Structure 1
């Protein structure tokens, strides 16, 4: 299937690189434009990826400095406060996916969508690891007739620092939103101070001290499952694999409680793990979202609309791809 190049804005970072690698695993001929503010760096990265071209992106220009160059989609790997990528995508009528904004920053994107709802599909890709958490959680939830409580614990290894853009984005998020959006007894609240402190058990059973984090997973999972209690907690520390003397990994602990198919009380505990950390796991999500948006999977491209990643990603196919990459969704002791 022949498509125009996909524009990666902020495409010189690790997550963009892993997204390109994951996309190329299934679609080696899809062309990419690696956009950045440093043309020489963008060109070097494009050469490393192969089948890509580095371009200088001018976010002050309506055409991003690309002129009439055709694109089939836009992916933004940093906090695009000017919404330059979104405006460009709507002008061109092509899909837009952004993965770095915070839950408190979605209003400008929603407002932009509302004024042109039929222009193109827009994906609010701010879920933890761009959908890895929600997709796995909803797969587990199939065993329930009713989900009442969802607790997510994300453990980032201290060595899994990402690039300077990732560090800058996290610093911005922590500065702007010290309170954590949480659903409690069917009501959305903000945990802060002592109330934001939490613990969860890592894959190896250690008790991890964590803090509440305002991930959009909270509202997405609450809407999808109807769970009255949903919270997301994050910690930075030593991952279970590195503690065993192996390379570092990322791990996402998913705890559900509710009723099973026969009305019995049910409680489960699982972990999403990836042996290479956060960037390749996020890259897998980005690649599979692009497949669905553009119809690379030989189905019709996604219609215009506003989407969460989990609304586009097939959970079974996602978990199969995750396993092929060496990751897994593991069942843990309750």
Structure 2
């Protein structure tokens, strides 16, 4: 967390791209203000999506089966034995405990989940029901906006991952549940999972690397022009899925 926004100001002074992956929704003001006062200097990426695009990019792809998405429910599972660096530990502490409420959308209204409303449960990949609590990474506002979805919530569980329950090493899981109407107007519910067998750090690193490639033009396309972006606005879906597979991650279709 760069509480002084010094890295962003330095990047703007050199006209080079900047991405942050720490500030929560309730902390976006300083970065947005810095961008607004120098909008033409460099691209600025508000990168605090869950694992930097690992949730939003797949969700937007799955949503293509729908004419209208009524509900988006994301469940993220971190294994309690997953290794975190000191900065990541502080980030998670700040976003889960220092901020007692989490942003969500219900019936088209953005509101803050608190107390009992901030408690949730979801089923992991192996079907085990996990106790979870509300979290509000940028995925909440991004998905609600781009899909025009009236109901969006994000829940985080920290505990034993599905792989460890069956005697394998830890993994990280993202459960994506969508409900709405297909293109024929029929009710449709889908449930997918994004899984990495080495925990959350490889997915975070993958998202950062892909964003930096896109910002600087290292992917073979023109460098990203100045602007204010979320990661999913920069990452091409097929490229993300290809690189996810190369990095050892997988996409699973689950029973509803």
Q: TM-score range by the shorter chain?
A: over 0.9
1:306 aligns with 2:228: yes
Point out 4+ residue stretches in structure 1 off by more than 6 angstroms: none
Whether contact under 8 Å (1:181, 1:188) holds in the other structure is yes
Q: Normalized against structure 2, the TM-score is what?
A: 0.98
The corresponding residue for 1:57 is: none
1:245 aligns with 2:167: yes
Whether contact under 8 Å (1:144, 1:260) holds in the other structure is yes
Over alpha carbons, which structure has the higher Rg?
1
Report matched runs for 1:132-143 at 5 Å. 132-143=54-65
Matches of 1:101 and 1:323, distance apart in 2: 28
Number of aligned pairs? 256
1:166 aligns with 2:111: no
- Structure 1, unpaired ranges of 5+: 1-78
Matches of 1:149 and 1:127, distance apart in 2: 18
Deviation at 1:172, TM superposition (A): 1.9
1:256 to 178, 187, 191: 178
SS of the aligned residue for 2:83 comes to: coil
The corresponding residue for 2:211 is: 289
Deviations 1:107-132 (A, max 9, x none): 00001100111110000000000111
Matches of 1:264 and 1:316, distance apart in 2: 27
Report matched runs for 1:40-119 at 5 Å. 79-119=1-41
The corresponding residue for 2:124 is: 202
- Structure 2, unpaired ranges of 5+: none
Whether contact under 8 Å (2:95, 2:135) holds in the other structure is no
Whether contact under 8 Å (1:161, 1:167) holds in the other structure is no
1:323 to 220, 245, 248: 245
The corresponding residue for 1:223 is: 145
Q: Normalized against structure 1, the TM-score is what?
A: 0.76
Report the RMSD for the aligned CA atoms in angstroms: 0.8
